Structure 1
Amino acid sequence: MVGSRSGGGGGGGGAAGRAKFSVEEFYGLNNNKKPKCMGPPIKSAMGRNLGQQEDLTEEARKALEQQRLEMFLQECQLSLGDTVAEQTGMVYRNLGKTGLRVSCVGIGSWVTIGSQISEEAAEDILTVAYENGVNLFDTAEIYASGKAEVTLGNIIKKKGWRRSSFVISTKLYWGGQAETERGLSRKHIIEGLRGSLERLQLEYVDIVFANRPDVTVSSEEIVRAMTFLINQGETMYWGTSRWSTVEIMEAYSVARQFNLIPPSCEQAEYHLFQRDKVETQLPELYHKIGLGVMTWSPLACGLITGKYEDCIPEHSRASLPGYEWLKTKITNEEGQLQQAKIKALQPIANKMSCTLAQLAIAWCLMNETISSVLLGVSDAEQLRENLGAIQSLVLSAFFPLVGPWKMSGGLQDAAISSFLQFIEEKGFKIYNSLTKQSCETGKLSRCLRGEMNLLYRKTKVEWKHREEESKKR
Structure 2
Amino acid sequence: MEFRNLGASGMKVSAISYGNWLTHGSQVEEDAALACVRQALEEGITTFDTADVYANTAAETVLGKALSGQRRESLEILTKVFWPTGPKGPNDHGLSRKHIMEAIDGSLTRLQTDYVDLYQAHRFDHETPLEETMLAFADVVRAGKALYIGVSEWRAEEIRAAAELARELRVPLVSNQPQYNMLWRVIEAEVVPTCEELGIGQIVWSPIAQGVLTGKYRPGEPVPEGSRATDDKGGADMIGRWLRDDVLERVQLLRPIAEEAGLSPAQLAVAWVLQQPDVSSAIIGASRPEQVTENAKAAGVTLDASTLAAIDEALGDVVERDPAQTKSPRRSELFG
Q: Same fold (TM over 0.5)?
A: yes
Query: 1:284 corresponds to which residue?
Result: 193
Output the CA distance in 1 between the equivalents of 2:15 and 2:144.
25
Shift of 1:410: 4.2
Output the CA distance in 1 between the equivalents of 2:290 and 2:146.
32
For these two proteins, the number of residue pairs brought into alignment is: 313
Output the CA distance in 1 between the equivalents of 2:194 and 2:240.
34
Amino acid in the other structure paired with 1:251: A
Tell me, yes or no, if the aligned pair for 2:257 and 2:310 is still in contact at 8 Å: no
The runs of 5 or more residues in structure 2 that have no matched partner are 319-336
Please point out which of 270, 280, 286 is paired with 2:180. 270
Matched, 1:304 2:205: no
- The 5 Å alignment of 1:182-221 reads 182-221=93-132
Output the CA distance in 2 between the equivalents of 1:221 and 1:156.
33
- The 5 Å alignment of 1:234-383 reads 234-256=145-167, 258-261=168-171, 263-277=173-187, 279-309=188-218, 310-323=221-234, 324-326=236-238, 328-331=240-243, 335-383=244-292
Change (3 A) 1:231 1:405: farther
Query: 2:144 corresponds to which residue?
Result: 233
- The 5 Å alignment of 1:135-150 reads 135-150=46-61
- The 5 Å alignment of 1:399-418 reads 399-402=303-306, 404=308, 407-412=311-316
Amino acid in the other structure paired with 1:401: A
User: Bigger shift: 99-108 or 339-348?
Assistant: 339-348
Query: 2:334 corresponds to which residue?
Result: none
Change (3 A) 1:226 1:326: closer
Output the CA distance in 2 between the equivalents of 1:405 and 1:316.
30
Q: Identify, as 1 or 2, the structure richer in helix.
A: 1
SS across alignment from 1:357: helix
Identity score, percent = 36
The runs of 5 or more residues in structure 1 that have no matched partner are 1-89, 415-473
Shift of 1:374: 0.1
Q: What is the TM-score normalised by the length of structure 1? A: 0.63
Output the CA distance in 2 between the equivalents of 1:268 and 1:402.
26
| Highest RCO, 1 vs 2 (Cα 8 Å, sep ≥ 6) | 2
Amino acid in the other structure paired with 1:172: V
Output the CA distance in 1 between the equivalents of 2:215 and 2:231.
18
SS across alignment from 1:203: coil
Shift of 1:123: 1.7
- Structure with max Cα Rg: 1
Shift of 1:155: 1.5
Tell me, yes or no, if the aligned pair for 2:22 and 2:55 is still in contact at 8 Å: yes
SS across alignment from 1:145: helix
Output the CA distance in 1 between the equivalents of 2:260 and 2:304.
16
Amino acid in the other structure paired with 2:136: A
Change (3 A) 1:373 1:402: farther
Shift of 1:373: 0.1
Amino acid in the other structure paired with 2:73: S
SS across alignment from 1:302: helix
SS across alignment from 2:78: strand
Amino acid in the other structure paired with 2:315: L
The structure 1 segments of at least 4 consecutive aligned residues displaced by more than 3 Å after TM superposition are 402-407
SS across alignment from 1:371: strand
Shift of 1:406: 6.4
SS across alignment from 2:102: helix
Amino acid in the other structure paired with 1:261: V
Tell me, yes or no, if the aligned pair for 1:248 and 1:263 is still in contact at 8 Å: no
Output the CA distance in 2 between the equivalents of 1:213 and 1:404.
33
Shift of 1:390: 2.5
Tell me, yes or no, if the aligned pair for 1:292 and 1:369 is still in contact at 8 Å: yes
